[in-house]
Amino acid sequence: MAEIKCGECGAPMRLIEGQFGKFYGCVRYPVCKGVHSAHQNSGKPMGIPANRETIEWRKKAHAKFDPYVKQWFRNRREGYLFLQNVMGLPAKDAHISHFNIEQCQKLLQILDKK
């Protein structure tokens, strides 16, 4: 697996088994408190690490996108196909966990118009 870089400082991150499960933590902790979520079974990172501001925008995008998917699509797969199409992205990049701030803002604008 490729080295994961901290979204806050750019230093490497390491997989940690914490009290609440697996996650990635910055090797510069406690100077840098960058963290990133991991799949509990495989330990693979969930999306692309980001700084706190980007993470907050991703949360806003998910908060608006998830109910939209539940209301208008039969499943998440269809919702992500919609996301791929409206954002003009290849399938591998059509995940909010890969988005930068501008992409999150664009998605929010699109959903506000729907």
Per-residue pLDDT of 38-91, as tens digits, reads: 999 999 999 999 999 999 999 999 999 999 999 999 999 999 999 999 999 999
Give yes or no for residue 1 having a pLDDT over 70: no
Cβ–Cβ < 8 Å for 4, 36: yes
Domain-wise residue ranges, the chain: 1-46, 52-113
Average pLDDT over residues 20-49: 95
With a pLDDT cut of 90, the percent of the chain lying above it is: 95
Report the Cα–Cα distance between both ends of the chain, in Å, rounded.
39
Beta strand ranges found along 1-114 (DSSP E): 13-18, 21-26, 35-37
